[in-house]
Chains A and B, each alone.
Chain A
């Protein structure tokens, strides 16, 4: 945490999100937040409780269950002088707003020759293992990452979440911000009390190592750190690098890490096929090719709809054990 000033305290990922929004809303009256049950309910995940008390229902706005409608209102409001934050309760509902995101928000600057801007943040969630089954568990951050004109943030720690969300809100482009649902309460970490931002497009080395690099996003960063601790006990030194944003992407930091360790496992909770994992693996394979001692490998969600039964669901998400085993195989000890 080199960038920030002020006293730090341990807070949850969810509270870091709320603090970022509250502080930005205090700073800039053009920021409005809208979504389903964001006001009195403080979102379905109870992340934004109390915001409406401070900012009122004119700025923290409950919407009908009309994701394309209010996402589109966010686009139009962003074009005309506001800085809306649109809350899409589950990342699975990105499917509902794809026209407004992909054909409208992402292309507005380009199609208008740079004349219109869309300073919009779409906050949504990702992550399985909540027993929510196939339509409330997906990690679809690969979808917006595929589209020129969008920026995509996948934070893994409270510190990153707060600093990156502030940058997203201050950005003049549409940014899709994915929050891991499990992390809201489960992940805690030090966060300064003072104002700070983290630029979009700067990766962070979460743990330094020599033998293998875990390139991990969002929920998978904690899993990779857990695996790295296990590996240390068997004498393998693992590095954990978090890109923090899938676009813009800090390719150099990822490639440099793999050049140093000569092996890489890309960990991402989205699907491997045609996914963020595929893209990151391709980039480090190309960039660090002459330094590699093993093929770059991916650990991502299984290529199945997320099942309901705990006995099945847990098998679909990469675990510390799986990462540990794969790392040992690649390192050869």
Chain B
């Protein structure tokens, strides 16, 4: 990343927002820890792809959005859904295949969708939602609603042709869509350098698209970088591309435990200790005297209780009735 491209953090974010960012990131972290716990205790059907380590991106971006703005998410989508306002209890219920879940148990971890928070849906096809996000932006432009759509995707989607078709269309038609690429370094079990030719930032540049690269572990930087991109999209000035460098703490999914063959333990340790987005932001809050250690501790405790209750809600919730299997195939 060149110094010129690197966006700089703007001072002066409101203390309330700064604390809220901490809370939101910690909520995602504690949610995901419980998901992992449910999996290891064999209480969760299927698998889940955890967002731990990447929280600053979802929170930094979604804090800059309005409730009625749209997002599309990925198979690693719990963080995006929570950051956009989803309730953890109904998310746990969905992950456990319960009727009270966001999709009545029909979607599961990879398909959480929620019209109330503008969540068009997590998507288990890599890059599968980029055109859908552009389509939501098309509607916003057509109906002049001033809404913006954000498309979250991992760097693995850089290999999908649909991404470039959608970027071309979005730029051509000046659609209010922000393409947010979360580069957590690994396309499943393969380092992105083995799959990605050239400079990623040259790709939006080829479309003449406004673009920025940001340290995805710095929630304030993500927020202050994406905010003007969102503002210009809202004004009708066109789409943007945000590349956020980050790291996936867990494996590709909860069952991906033995990772030595594709990434060294030392690398994981380096990110966990030195680059953790929550620790970095907490340190900033303390140093800037925005919050005290006790205040942050109280938030942690409150969230832990909330997540325990949410998880229990999911565990206790009822499964769908068998006859529901044929419902909702058609509107």
Contacts and interface: CB of A to CB of B under 8 A. Distances in A.
Interface stretch (A39-47, A65-73, A318-326): A65-73
A272 interface: no
Interface in A77-105: 77-82, 84, 99-100, 103-104
A111 B111 contact: yes
Contacts of A82: 138-139, 142-143
Most B Cβ at <10 Å: residue of A63, A69, A74, A108: A69
A303 to B, nearest CB: 30
A69 B165 contact: yes
Most B Cβ at <10 Å: residue of A110, A151, A173: A110
A274 interface: no
A74 B135 contact: yes
A70 B172 CA distance: 12
Contacts, number: 146
Contact of B134 (A58, A73, A149, A173): A73
Contact of A115 (B113, B125, B168, B169): B113
B159 interface: no
Contact of B133 (A71, A76, A108, A151): A76
A68 B162 contact: yes
A79 B132 CA distance: 8
Contact of B131 (A72, A80, A110, A113): A72
A81 B143 contact: yes
Nearest to B120: A79
Contacts of B330: 109, 149, 151, 173
Given A68-B162, A81-B143, A100 B331 contact: no
Report, as a range, how many residues of chain B touch the other chain: 35 or more
Contacts of B162: 68-69, 72, 99-100
B103 interface: yes
B107 interface: yes
Contacts of B236: none
B134 A76 contact: yes
A108 B121 contact: yes
B135 A75 contact: yes
B131 A73 contact: yes
A154 B172 CA distance: 34
B75 to A, nearest CB: 13
A77 B149 CA distance: 11
Contacts of B328: 109-110, 112-114
A117 B169 CA distance: 23
B150 to A, nearest CB: 12
Most B Cβ at <10 Å: residue of A75, A76, A79, A149: A76
A160 to B, nearest CB: 21
A104 B132 contact: yes
Contact of B132 (A72, A109, A119): A72
Contacts of A118: 331
Interface string B153-171: 0000000011001101100
Contacts of A79: 120, 132, 135-136
Interface in B249-266: none
Contacts of B120: 76, 79-80, 116
Contacts of A267: none
Contacts of B138: 73, 76-77, 82
A116 B104 CA distance: 13
Contacts of A75: 131-132, 135
Contacts of A71: 131
Contact of A109 (B72, B136, B166, B331): B331
Nearest to B70: A80
Contact of B331 (A58, A64, A173): A173
Contacts of B105: 113
B193 interface: no
A69 B138 CA distance: 12
A151 B102 CA distance: 25
A151 B331 CA distance: 11
A194 B208 CA distance: 48
A81 B135 contact: no
A24 interface: no
B294 interface: no
Given A76-B139, A77-B142, A111-B113, A70 B169 contact: yes
B121 A112 contact: yes
9 contacts: A63-B169, A79-B135, A84-B135, A99-B128, A112-B111, A113-B106, A114-B327, A115-B102, A117-B331
